[in-house]
Amino acid sequence: MLLKSAAVQKLDYRVVHPPDLPFIMNEEYWPADARWMLTEFLISDEGAQRANWTPRFILGQDSKIIFTATGNDGWKQKMWPKILEVTGTAA
């Protein structure tokens, strides 16, 4: 869905896949240019309470997290519409 959309052309898309779930919040497994997002997430209420919930989707803009969602349903029902809104594109 995302990778074939017009929205992907307007995003810097990153995937974090550590070798094991406990490493998901370790900075070394995050792309260097996206580590600010991990820091911001971990100091947020959501990060403090549910850091290890996966799959996790984080949308950032201008070095600020503007939206997060978890789970496949969170992607479909919340994150995908938010990406379309922020990028001004259609599905």
Q: Across residues 30-44, what is the average pLDDT? A: 94
Please state, in angstroms and rounded to a whole number, the distance separating the CA atoms of residues 86 and 80.
Answer: 10
The pLDDT of residue 74 is 95
Query: In this structure, is residue 90 part of a structural domain?
Result: yes
Query: In this structure, is residue 30 part of a structural domain?
Result: no
Range of the domain at 84: 55-91
Contact 41, 68 (CB under 8 A): yes
Contact 69, 46 (CB under 8 A): no
Count of the separate structural domains present in the chain: 1
Query: In this structure, is residue 59 part of a structural domain?
Result: yes
Query: In this structure, is residue 3 part of a structural domain?
Result: no
Q: Across residues 46-60, what is the average pLDDT? A: 91
Contact 63, 36 (CB under 8 A): yes
Query: In this structure, is residue 47 part of a structural domain?
Result: no
Query: In this structure, is residue 91 part of a structural domain?
Result: yes
Contact 58, 65 (CB under 8 A): yes
